[in-house]
Amino acid sequence: MPIEQIYIDSSVQHLSQVKSICDRIQCSAEIIHDVQTLYEKINTHADPVKAGKKTLYLTRNKGAFLKKCPGTQNYICCDYQILHVGTFCTMDCSYCILQSYFHPPLLQFFVNHHDMIEELHMALEQKILLRIGTGEFTDSLIWEYGTDLSQLLVPIFSNQHHCVLELKTKTTAIENFRSLKHNRKTILAWSLNTQEIIRTQERGTASLKSRLYAAQKCQQWGYPVAFHFDPMVLYPGCENDYKDVITKLFSYINPENIPWISLGTFRFMPSLKPTIQERFPHSKIVYGEFIRGLDGKMRYFKPLRISFYKAIIEHIRKIAPDVCLYFCMEDEHVWKNSLGFVPAERGGLPAMLDRSAAKVCELA
């Protein structure tokens, strides 16, 4: 973690996790009583996003740790449960919504783990199938360098038989998982893209080959592994490039160990466009053929999306005909014309994913 400064909320300075994190990261640490002063300091930088990626604020999560994914009206949602462990990211992807989602952008890690564990146990005691993930507001594995998060969470999930934890990343920070007892209840997941997009749009992330090698290692350690092609960016030659990525993926991974693969093309709120233009002046991703979607986001024209999806899905199906595929935030028309069915015909998207998780992750 390229952290240059740690700030500690005075209300958590006594917690053991704080000392452990400071000892590992080993940079200047300061106790503060008013986070507003920190926000103001970040906002004085010429590039607050860049400054926020190097500044870690250790604090308390004052709200719920577990939250249902809000989804988007008019688009099909997977009914995911978000485990809110922290915010923001040390990597720097041009398309990342977090650049404009947090004001100001700032790395935060919640250290009141006693509250988190208590809330998790209450959820797990319901004995219903839940798909829980930490990768909504942050990358799940950037915290491996400075915290004991995986050593805390993985054993909790390994001791039950009806829920799964998904940890999604663009890193190769997997060493902490080598010796953990997981009982196949933790899914290690990677966001994948073409090497062209990784090179030009995903600063500070692992290469495609490195991500696939890390996934292969986790597979060897017995973990289920999942993959998310989101956002897929349309550019000249992209179809062949994405097909090459898929071919490489299945040369590393056995399809039987994959609970799901998600697909989603690049979409963005109009307010993100000037941020991308300013912070990534050489990026061309916001100059495609876009139209405003039902959720207010700019999306590629639907015929372009469908044509592209069909080609990619056909390629996946030739190699792995039975792997569970789903779209992230697409409507029924796209589903029907790309995959040939709508989730409602199979009990709904949540039920589809639940069945696949139960099979691959050996749920009761």
Q: What is the CATH number of the domain that holds 94?
A: 3.80.30.30
List the one residue out of 187, 211, 205, 154 whose CA is nearest residue 80.
Answer: 187
- Using CA atoms of 77, 71, 272, 209 in order, give the dihedral in degrees to the nearest 10: -40
Per DSSP (E only), the strands in 122-203 are: 130-133, 163-169, 186-191, 202-203
Residue numbers of the domain that contains 260: 5-360
User: Would you state the pLDDT for residue 72?
Assistant: 75
**CB 334, CB 302: distance < 8 Å:** yes
User: Would you state the pLDDT for residue 104?
Assistant: 78
pLDDT digits (tens, 9 = 90+) for 180-224: 999 999 999 999 999 999 999 999 999 999 999 999 999 999 999
In angstroms, what CA-CA distances link 125 with 119, 121, 196, 350?
10, 6, 45, 20
Give the whole-angstrom CA distance, residue 281 versus residue 205.
19
Q: SS3 of 125, please?
A: coil
User: Would you state the pLDDT for residue 362?
Assistant: 96
For the chain, the domain total comes to: 1
Give the whole-angstrom CA distance, residue 168 versus residue 216.
15
List the one residue out of 267, 264, 169, 263 whose CA is nearest residue 218.
Answer: 169
Taking residue 247's Cβ as centre, other Cβ atoms within 10 Å add up to 13
What are the tokens at 280?
A: 């990534």
325 DSSP β-pair partners: 261
pLDDT over 90 percentage in the chain: 94
What are the tokens at 76?
A: 């099909």
List the one residue out of 107, 8, 100, 9 whose CA is nearest residue 51.
Answer: 107
User: Would you state the pLDDT for residue 286?
Assistant: 96
Q: What is the DSSP string of 39-68?
A: HHHHHTSSSHHHHHTTEEEEE---S-SEEE
Average pLDDT over residues 56-69: 95
Q: SS3 of 121, please?
A: helix
Per DSSP (E only), the strands in the chain are: 5-9, 28-32, 55-59, 66-68, 81-83, 86-87, 92-93, 107-110, 130-133, 163-169, 186-191, 202-203, 225-232, 261-265, 267-268, 290-292, 298-300, 325-327
User: Would you state the pLDDT for residue 213?
Assistant: 98
In angstroms, what CA-CA distances link 209 with 34, 121, 222?
43, 37, 20
**CB 278, CB 46: distance < 8 Å:** no
User: Would you state the pLDDT for residue 74?
Assistant: 79
Model pTM score: 0.96
Q: What is the DSSP string of 266-318?
A: -EE-GGGHHHHHHH-TT--GGGSSEEE-TTS-EEE-HHHHHHHHHHHHHHHHH
Give the whole-angstrom CA distance, residue 100 versus residue 132.
25
pLDDT digits (tens, 9 = 90+) for 279-306: 999 999 999 999 999 899 999 999 999 9
Is the pLDDT assigned to residue 1 strictly greater than 70?
Answer: no
Taking residue 2's Cβ as centre, other Cβ atoms within 10 Å add up to 11
Is the pLDDT assigned to residue 69 strictly greater than 90?
Answer: no
**CB 81, CB 133: distance < 8 Å:** yes
Give the whole-angstrom CA distance, residue 157 versus residue 160.
6
Q: How many residues does the chain have?
A: 364
Is the pLDDT assigned to residue 332 strictly greater than 70?
Answer: yes
